[in-house]
Amino acid sequence: MTTQEKLALISSKIDTEMINVDNLLTILQYIDLLQTDLPIIEIGCYRGGTSSCIAEYLTETKKPQGLVVIDPFEQFIDQHPDWPTGTGNEAITRSRLEPYPQVEIIKGFSFAVPPRDASLIFLDGDHSTPAFMQDVTKWRPYAKEYFLFHDLNYEPIQKALAQLGLPAEEISHNLGKL
């Protein structure tokens, strides 16, 4: 499927203020490479923009993978004081993902959620060095095919990767792969 065809499938779901389209297309390329039917896990969804694009793509391409979305929603908004707060973030996410029965939303911190096997894990949660290290250490062994993460060039994430001794590959603008 061409890039333009992929964009056409998900165009109604793209929120260009919150989603880098190149990164999204790269994630979709990795979804196309999946060999297992294990779910895709997204850690950190904010308002479900990327999640709804992934869910739409899975539906439109009839892919067998489900999507598990993990986010504490308002409980952690103090890291981003410029982001809108209140119960709206969870409500917006649930509204965006409600049409997709293959999506499971887990409200909670990634460190408190029991890990499970996944074909692909996309990490875009807490970007602090300790939290990123904890998420990578906990969740990476459960990514049976791909472990992708956002904000590769963010200093706390670079620091975490160095402390973990993990080389990351930049696969799209600021999108990393371990």
Each as own residue / partner, the long-range contacts of residues 87-94 (CB below 8 Å, 24 or more positions apart, any chain) are 89/46, 89/47, 92/47, 92/48, 93/45, 93/46, 93/47, 93/48, 93/51, 93/69, 94/48
- Tell me, what CATH number does 47's domain have? 3.40.50.150
Q: Answer whether residue 118 is part of any domain.
A: yes
Domain that holds residue 59: 37-177
Predicted TM-score (pTM) of this structure: 0.90
pLDDT digits (tens, 9 = 90+) for 58-80: 999 999 999 999 999 865 555 55
**Secondary structure element (H or E) that encloses residue 148, with its range:** strand 143-150
Q: Three-state SS for 122?
A: strand
pLDDT digits (tens, 9 = 90+) for 89-106: 888 999 999 999 999 999
Domain count, the chain: 1
